[in-house]
Amino acid sequence: MLASSQQLHLVLWQVEEEYQRQMGIAAQQQRTDAYMHTHTISGQALLDPTSRRQPYPSQNMVVKPAGFGLGRAGPEAISKVAARHPGTQATLADTVLLPSKYRNDMQADSLHSKAADSTRGFRDTSSTGAAPNSSPGTIADDDGTTTNTDDMAIGDEEALAAEGLITRDQERTAAATAGQTGGGRNSNKSSRESLPVAVLSKLEADKLAQAKVRHKAQVAQPKINFGRTFTGDAFIAEPAEVLFKDFVPGRTYKTSVQLINRSFTKNSIRLVEVPAEVMHVIELGLPPSGSLAPGAAAAMAVTFIPQANEDLTAGIRLLAETGPLTLPLRCLARTALPTLGPSPLVSLDGRAGGVMIADTAHATVTLCNRGALGVVYDIKVTGLLASTTEYDEPSQHLRMIAIDPHAADAPDAATDSGSRKGANAASLAVAGFRVQSIKGQVSGYGSCTIEVSFTPRVPGVVEVPLVVSYTAPENKALSIPQANLTLQATGKDLPVSTTTPLVDFR
């Protein structure tokens, strides 16, 4: 009995000791320390959970973040995770999911480590005693023969690299050389095309095709309410088009679009993607709308930050339960759009069908600028009459008034909206026509009036072709086409006659 009791106490003591060794406070602390050493960047075992002291737990822990595997994880987190999974360090530097700024650094470190650990590779005469006639583009085998790497294909170089005959750095260099010179069987293939692709079995291919059909059927479902099937776009946009007009590069423009549910039943809408052609200047914000009742609306915020003075046109793709829809987007830069009115043909004949000699007829031409940039115009005569045109420059008094319009002796004069007279208010005279204000400037969305008069000297039809050229001082690179203007009038004899053509005094 005593022996069995002692043996029982011995067994209980061993069990208690094993329990304390595995589940005791010391064992738990050791496991906690080991976990902290492997899951922190700095290897610390103690962190302040209140984040009052550095290092902060959110910045020091390497628990896989939300961006891990999507190319947004830092190199410290990747190296820590790779350390817990032996054999993956070699593939991390080559993954396409790693950001380029991190991938290049890891590739450089990997190449340096491989070059240091490699025992065979390119052997030059100074380090390995290779054949004296070997060149930098050859490798030496164990039997003394040399192989020219310039004639190798990329696949052969990868095989040599896998066997350790050349390093990955030399493999990439040879592949780049082959791609530049056009050599090798696969020199025209990109690195992305050379990635291995798994071959799907017949069952996997069928399952994939069926999944695509189910997804396409679920994307757009008809809405039926009391036997009526809704057709058309389920949402209408207010405004119907996102328009940013007369923008200035560098500034920020914001607007909001209301997406109103016009279907028969509740519906939801979401943003598919930002158009690729405007994704560098456009930011779209559409929170999850949930189920919207008929007539309810979801607000989409649009932010535009232009970088260049150029027009942009795209379509914002949206997806509702009844199908996709597109919202037009236009970004129009500031420009100048001058127009002449009411017609490019100005006739001064009037109702009488002409102008009597020594009489004067008047007409006006309106020059409108439908753009935001100011435009400078210049009117000249073209054709055979250009050499007979007389240009009248403004007097010195008018120039002084233009420079200082608030002078005491300056007469009051009404000026047209958007026009500038004075030093630019020159005129021309040709073939009985006189055109005032042939030079001037029209501001953005402004207009000015050009006066035309005709005083015939001889009877007959007179036609004078004019050309109006434009320039935009605020954007000298902007090319504005010229406009043609034609002046037309008819001179008529004086209506003076006698009752009898002959008076006889016999």
Whole-model pTM above 0.85?
no
Residue 423 has pLDDT above 50, yes or no: no
Residue 259 has pLDDT above 80, yes or no: yes
Per-residue pLDDT tens digits for 171-202: 455 444 444 444 444 444 444 455 667 788 89
| Euclidean distance between CA atoms 43 and 26, whole angstroms | 19
More confident residue, 100 or 226: 226
Task: Please report, in angstroms and rounded to a whole number, the separation of the first and last CA atoms in the chain.
Answer: 189
Report DSSP letters for 478-506, one per residue. -----EEEEEEEEEE------S-S-----
Contact between 460 and 320 under an 8 Å Cβ cutoff? The reply is: no
Q: Identify the residue whose tokens are 């002449």.
A: 340
Residue 228 has pLDDT above 70, yes or no: yes
**Cα–Cα distances in angstroms (integers) from residue 22 to residues 19, 26, 28, 29, 37, in the given order:** 5, 9, 8, 11, 19
3-state secondary structure of 291: coil
Contact between 302 and 318 under an 8 Å Cβ cutoff? The reply is: no
Per-residue pLDDT tens digits for 1-42: 667 888 888 888 888 888 888 888 888 888 888 888 877 777
325, 309, 208: which is closest to 260 by C-alpha? Answer: 325
Of all residues in the chain, the percent with pLDDT exceeding 90 is: 23
Q: Identify the residue whose tokens are 């690299």.
A: 161
CB contact set of 76 (below 8 Å; sequence gap of 6+):
41, 62
CB contact set of 32 (below 8 Å; sequence gap of 6+):
45
Contact between 167 and 160 under an 8 Å Cβ cutoff? The reply is: no
- Radius of gyration over every alpha carbon of the chain, rounded to an integer in angstroms: 43
φ, ψ at 394 (rounded to 5°): -65, 155
